Structures are given as C-alpha cells and as structure tokens.
Structure 1
C-alpha cells in the first residue's frame, strides 16, 4: 500500500493525519498477537502502549560511527603533527655522530663545514638529547617553516575538539521520552526537553521520509504557556536511513490495532516490557505534566485546520518542478 505518490527527495512533504489511512492499514497490514512485538514498541499494558523515539536508534547508527571516525581522524592528525619517533631520531643522529667522530676525530663537528653533518649534529646537540627548541628547529626544517607546523598544530587541535565533542555526546546522549498511546483516553502524548506535546489519536499527523517517521502533534513551543504544532522523529525499523512507507506499516497498523482492540490484539501475555538501552541521561517527565497535557489537549483541535491547509500546500508543491 502507498500513502504518498512518488516525489523527488527535495520536494517538501507536509504533515497529514494518520486517520485518512486507517482503512488501508486495517485491510492491508495483518497484525497478529506476539510474545514480543517488533521495535519500536517498548511496552504494552491494558491501557497504554509505548514506542521509543529516534534517539535510541540514532545514537548507535549516527553518533557511534561518527565518534569512531573522529578518533581515527585524530590518529591521522597525530601522525601529521608527530610523524617521527623521537627516540629513534635520537638514536639515528647519535649513531651518525659517533661514527663520524671515530672516522674524523672528536673535534670533527667543531671544525667541519659540511652542512649535512652539522644538521644531524644540531638535532641532538652536544648532550645527545632532543630538547624542545631543537625539536622545533628540526620540524621547521622538515616542514618548510613555522607556518606549516602551526597549521598542523591547528589541524590537530581541531580534530581533538571534534573527537571530544562526539565522545561527550555519545556518552552523555540524553535518551528521549517514549511516545505514549493511551487507549482509554484515545490520545497520544510525549515530551521533549521540558516541552509537553500531545493530541487526540484521530488528529495524530505523520510525515514519512527516508530518515524515518515524523510524529506530528500539538504542544508547548517555544516554551511553556505558548502552543503550536510540534513534531518528533521516530525510527520504526531501527534502520535510520533509506526508510520506506512499507517499513512504517507494521508500527502504524499495530498502533491502530491497539487503540481499537486493546492489548490482546498485540501481545499474547498480560503485559510486555522491553528493556531500554543504557544511557547516563534521560529526558525526564516535566513537572506538573498532567495539567500541562490538559492545556495542550484543549488546543489540539487546531491541527484539523492545519491539515486542511497542508493539503493545499502539498498539491501546490507537487506541481512545481523544483
């Protein structure tokens, strides 16, 4: 079943209510009760079914590879900044100095005018060790001046900053709140960074694209006491990319089935709870949540007018070539 006609990736897609596809989902997607329903369903009870947001998937699909890549680039930048082993350089230089003194005398490097010999001697100096100033002089000669050495240092600092930034966000990534489908009240709700959002199930909107599924509701934005349409991402298949409408079918049909028929249509046991992925931080439920949710639900009917406008906008956008 197709919910949208084919359109170019750069075309705008506007939210439309899931309810216009309810009949298609009932007819074309079969949902059987299971011991363990498929992801992204996290729990099923008598009145509530929860589904995870995109954060738990995005962390492993996007952040983990990005963190590993940033450390690999940092390793490369270290090799660019520090391309030689100082111990080996000292050993090689001292070996050359010792062999030259054996052949030409201990005062060879005092009287010689051979520039190559003096260059090796100046790397370690009379004490046979590379000091900071000697190393910088060596690098100046090797890199063609302090400008190029400075650029390498800046490149290293930049790579280190990116690696630390990615690692910090990977380790302290805040797990987003689940989506809650309340069969008793026939509403959908969640929260994000202390912003409450929700709507009646019949007014839940969706946007489907290659990155997954966007859940469209009404909520507090940009802060508490102000309201407008608001959305959050979901990953129905844990793919994280190249998602299709078919990938979303099971989740959308399962939600509809639960809201209409209850838990017995989704699970075989009394309850189902899937363990959450490990996270050091979690997006906690906002204070005074129920009251704030009620205030959102008083205004969620404005989504109906918005969807009507979106139908017109979508038709106009699809007519345009670019």
Structure 2
C-alpha cells in the first residue's frame, strides 16, 4: 500500500543558480534577511523573530496589566468588605451594647460577625469565603474571576519564560572564500559546502539543509529556517527569489555585485534577552564536519539532472 503523503526531498541549490544569477538585483530592495555583507562573508538571519518577540512582550505586558488591575480590584474589595463588617459590628454594639454578639440569637448578625471572626480583621481566606458565599450572582462572579485572573496568569506563566529564554538565532553564514555555509545552535555547529547545499521551499519558509553531529555522534541533517517575508503562515514562493538571488550573486560575483557602493554593511542587531554565542572553535568544527561528510558519504544521490533519487523502500 502506497504512502498517503509523499516524501519531499530537498533539492540542490545549484539547480537555481542560472535563474538567480540572471536577476537584476536593482529591481529589488535589499532583502530583510540579509544582516551583514563584507568582502568575505554574507550573513542571513530570521530577523523577523524580533518583531514577534516585541509583540509577545507587549502581549505579556497587557496580561500583567490585566492581572494587576484584577488583583487591585481584589485588594480594594477585600478592604471594603472588611470595613463594611467592622462598621456593622460597631453600629450594633453602639446600639445594643458591647456583648451584643455574645447574647443575640439573630442569625444574620451572627453571620456578619463570623465573616471577620473574633479578631475583627478579615483574613484573605475569610474574604474569599465571603466573596463567593454571601452575595447574589455567585456563579457569574466565580466565572468572571477565573477568566480575568486565571487566563492572564496562565498566559504570563507561558510567555515570560519563553521571552526570557528565547535565544537570538545564529546567522546562516555564506563564506565566499572557502565556499562554505555554516551556522550553530547552542554550541553545536552546522556546516555544508556551498556547492552541495540543498534547500526546500514551501509556503511557510525556506529550509537550508546542513550537516551536524547528533547526540549519538552520528552525522545528521540540520535545517536552518528562513522566512523572508516574515509571515510564519504563508508566503508565495516568488517572494524567496530576492534573498536567494542575493546569496547566489554574492557567492559567484562577490560583494561588488550586491553592495557596489560600500565596502561592508551590517544591520542593527535585533534585541533579545539572550544570545546564542558563536562557538570559540567554530572554524575547526566546520572543517571537521566537512571532513566527516566526505568520510560518511551518505548524502541522498542525485540523477543526471541534479534531482534527488529517493531511496528504495
């Protein structure tokens, strides 16, 4: 029985070179994923994640404000409930004597007295009991408190660690002199020869396939995602051409072709709470991975036209 979903294999980047090298870059604005260009290297990065990070931060502030206003409402309601019961007790004692609550059989008066107890100070536990047991529309109040307290609290618990722990993504670096492409993630280095780089384009992103060492020490594949339009849900494939053309023309024709008026250029680095620092021995690691690629030799083979040949099942 055949598979319902057909496996799609990444295609070599060189299949697109002829088309990309013929594109006039002057007809496009500089693609936003390009973050640095000099005579030796071009760097691209998923820089739109900074915008999402800012939106997440603003949303977090909104949730904190919502929760803060709700807690302030609780505090004011707590003080008000305590004040009302203290005034009620004081008024009854002024009228009937200080021992009124020890002698009376008035169940309502006893109930009001018990709301704050003999110390006549309403604890938070007493306030919660009073809030949800001694008034009308209790069910609606409980639902409202859950919505305006529970949901913001849950959102804060999810967003706050995500924003703080999210690392600034490492760039994908195209080295023209060595004709190597590499990046890293949490200390692990990804690398591939430029002539062997493969990519997969879909409606969400471009995926650049590099090689990396897996936890078990074997040589695996790493996917570097890039969304040139910044839209995480949908992008037309035509929107990827400016970025890919910029990369191809830099690697084949040099910095002068893509940046004729400047010796180098670097975009303002995006703001993140944490960086993913470049490994200190990255050059040695890149060379070692490239050597392992040759030794392992387990790339998916290509036919005469450069199309991947699926393995036999």
What's the TM-score once normalised by structure 1's chain length? 0.73
* Residue of 15, 18, 21 corresponding to 1:20: 15
Measure the CA separation in 2 of the matches of 1:163 and 1:307.
49
Does 1:173 pair with 2:177? no
Task: Identify the structure with bigger relative contact order (alpha carbons < 8 Å, sequence gap 6+).
Answer: 1
Do residues 249 (structure 1) and 248 (structure 2) align? no
SS of alignment partner, residue 257 of structure 1: helix
Partner of 2:256: 264
**What's the counterpart of residue 96 of structure 1?**
88
| 3-state secondary structure, aligned to 1:37 | coil
How far 1:194 sits from its partner (Å)? 1.6
Inter-partner Cα distance in structure 2 for 1:246 and 1:24: 12
- Work out the CA distance in 1 between the residues paired with 2:27 and 2:286: 31
- Mapped to 2, the partners of 1:11 and 1:70 lie a distance apart of 43
Distance 2:6 2:50 in 1: 26
Matched residue pairs, number?
Answer: 296
- Mapped contact 2:50–2:270 kept (Cα < 8 A): no
SS at match of 1:85: helix
Task: Provide structure 2 residue ranges, at least 5 long, that are not aligned to the other structure.
Answer: 136-141
- 2:111 maps to 119
Query: SS at 2:121's partner residue?
Result: coil
Following TM superposition, by how much is the alpha carbon of 1:219 offset from its aligned partner in structure 2, in angstroms? 1.8
Q: In structure 2, the residue corresponding to 1:249 is in which secondary structure? A: helix
Q: Given the alignment of the two structures, is residue 305 of structure 1 paired with residue 297 of structure 2, yes or no? A: no
In structure 1, stretches of 5+ residues that fail to align are 1-9, 144-148, 317-322
Partners of 1:249 and 1:210 lie apart in 2 by 13
On the 8 A contact 1:53/1:179 being kept in 2, the answer is no
For 1:266 and 1:45, the matched residues in 2 are separated by 10
Q: CA deviation at 1:132?
A: 5.0
CA offsets, 1:126-176, max 9 Å, x none? 443213563465367459xxxxx9xx99x9799757624532331343212
Q: Is the 8 A contact 1:192 1:283 kept in 2?
A: yes
CA contact (8 A) 1:208 1:245 kept: yes
Which residue does 1:320 correspond to in 2? Answer: none
Shift of the 313–65 alpha-carbon distance from structure 1 to 2, 3 Å rule, reads farther
| CA displacement, residues 40-87 of structure 1 (integer Å, 9 cap, x when unaligned) | 11111112111114684475267436645764675598589x586211
Aligned: 1:236 with 2:228: yes
